[in-house]
A and B are shown apart, each in its own frame.
Chain A
Amino acid sequence: MSSTKASAPDTKTGYKRFELGQFSFSRDEYFVTVRWPARETQLSHTLPVDAFLRALVRDVAWGFFYGWVNFDAVLGTRNRYGQVELYAGRYNDSYHDSGLDYVETFETPEILATFKAMLADWTNAGFDPFAAPAETGTTVFGKKNGSNTAAIERNRETCRRMPGLPGDASLRSDTNGYPVNRAFADVEQDEPEIHAEPGFENEVHAFNLFKYLSRSDVTWNPSVVSVCRNSLFCPTTEEHILPVIHGNDRVEWFIQVSDQITWQVSDKETGHPRARVVMKPGDVAAMPADIRHQGFSPKRAMLLVWENATSGLPEKYDSGELSPYPIEL
């Protein structure tokens, strides 16, 4: 049974303070402050509260995702699949080389419970951390003002085989709460013409993936739309900045479906810049297993993220058994 350590609400701001192992998290009207022990002292780090909540909600919804979820250049989590490392400065060479970084490992349910409690307490009514900044209010700032449970309890939408098949994930429509996003109002909403012979209605199946994506109510939150053994097509719609800097524990691939996203790619261990990848419609790029990346999307764009969910891959890349680069050129 996991327990969350939270203070009483602050008398001035109304927000609780949270402790997780030797870490502590507090927020004020604009910022989150994280504290951790370092040598014989204590260090602290400050993040804007809107950026922090956008990263936090995705880390929770993704179940800590594949590998590293860097909230910024200092703070982040590493998924150990059953356990999660929470770190400050570990993958920042100034902190790490000075011995001022700190890592603590938690059972997944424990860190998840604390992160969820922080999200619930710190997300004010009217602020949706999954939305693009232009789509949500600025009520994230200021004193505590209500909550937005519906926004923060979304999970990744995943299918078992393909959405729309009997017993599988639902397709998106006006009637189930997925109107077309303002940035995709020009995307065709037609459906495939399907002529199934009797008895094959459940196997002769197709849907309009672009329509499905045009109705996504979240940004930078991949869903799963097709499962070919451990190969997952995870399309997503992206606007503004990826709120985390994702460090790969395996190779993933990006296929740009619409519009443009620019990726800032850095070294996974140090954070030193390695490349910028400018992706336009139809472009395909590998994201190697030894990098971290953050995307910038000036207009809401459709991106197909392709993942390999085979278990045991992180260990094989860590040990050098597998090359971090998927293609020998």
Chain B
Amino acid sequence: MSEYTTVFGSLERYEKGRVEIINDQARHYAFSNIFEVASQAQPYEKIAVAKNLEYVVEVLRAEGRSDWFTAAHDEFAVVMDGHLELHLVKLGDPASVVSPDTQGSVRLPGAPVGKNMGWMKLGRGHQALLPAGAAYQFLAEQPCVILLQTLKGPLTVEKWADICAG
């Protein structure tokens, strides 16, 4: 029995903190909670919860099988709740799918054309590389929460007023 209990959040159990304003405005802190965001999201909607110029951190509610995505740059996924599979395909001609100067991830119109790279089974706390030029697909039997380190792209959803309320 550990002397300490480490508290993580989940879709089922999270408690949002707060901003106590002294001499400022709460909106400057863009305060949200990833589990609250995921609990109200559509499957695989890529909702920005943090933005720093062209870069974003997105929250995805993984549920069922996703479309195939790819990016011209590395992306990184951290599983914050649940378990999922991540499948990877090395695109035969990545530039035909996403030009090298494209920022963020794009959705493939169908199944990727290329070599099967393999797959991973990820659980809470696991961080995976989504390599540039590879297509990836998530499969989650139960709802799960992904934090995605990427750039703002055509699929990024920004709804700050909604997620920062309350």
Residue A282 interfacial (CB < 8 Å):
yes
Residue A144 interfacial (CB < 8 Å):
no
Count of interface residues, chain B, beta-carbon cutoff 8 Å: 70
Number of cross-chain contacts by CB at 8 Å = 242
A209-B78, A283-B32 known; A195-B124 Cβ under 8 A: no
Residues 99-154 of B at the A interface (beta carbon under 8 Å): 115-129, 131, 134, 147, 149-151
Is B24 in contact with A265, judged by CB distance below 8 angstroms? yes
Is B121 in contact with A193, judged by CB distance below 8 angstroms? yes
- Contacts of A183 on B, CB cut-off 8 Å? 3-4, 6
B52 touches which one: A162, A196, A205, A326 (CB < 8 A)?
A: A326
A186 touches which one: B6, B33, B55 (CB < 8 A)?
A: B6
State the CA gap A229–B73 with chains docked (Å). 8
| Chain B residues proximal to chain A, CB less than 8 Å | 2-9, 14-24, 26-36, 49-53, 55, 57, 73-76, 78, 80, 86, 88, 90, 115-129, 131, 134, 147, 149-151, 160-161, 164
CB of A317, distance to nearest CB on chain B (Å)? 11
Contact with B along A283-323 (1 / 0, CB 8 A): 11111100000000001101010101010000000000010
- Contacts of A193 on B, CB cut-off 8 Å? 120-121
Residues 153-202 of A at the B interface (beta carbon under 8 Å): 161-162, 165, 182-188, 190-197, 200
CB of A146, distance to nearest CB on chain B (Å)? 30
Is B124 in contact with A188, judged by CB distance below 8 angstroms? yes
Query: Residue of A at shortest CB range from B13?
Result: A281
Q: How large is the interface on A (under 10, 10 to 19, 20 to 34, 35 or more residues)?
A: 35 or more
Residue A210 interfacial (CB < 8 Å):
yes
Q: Interface with B: A2-10, A54-62, A66-74, A267-275, which one?
A: A267-275
Is B119 in contact with A326, judged by CB distance below 8 angstroms? no
State the CA gap A126–B116 with chains docked (Å). 53
Is B90 in contact with A200, judged by CB distance below 8 angstroms? yes
State the CA gap A322–B57 with chains docked (Å). 20
18 CB contacts below 8 A, A to B, read A183-B4, A183-B6, A188-B125, A192-B122, A200-B88, A200-B115, A204-B118, A208-B125, A228-B75, A233-B76, A253-B50, A255-B49, A255-B57, A277-B18, A277-B29, A279-B17, A282-B35, A284-B57
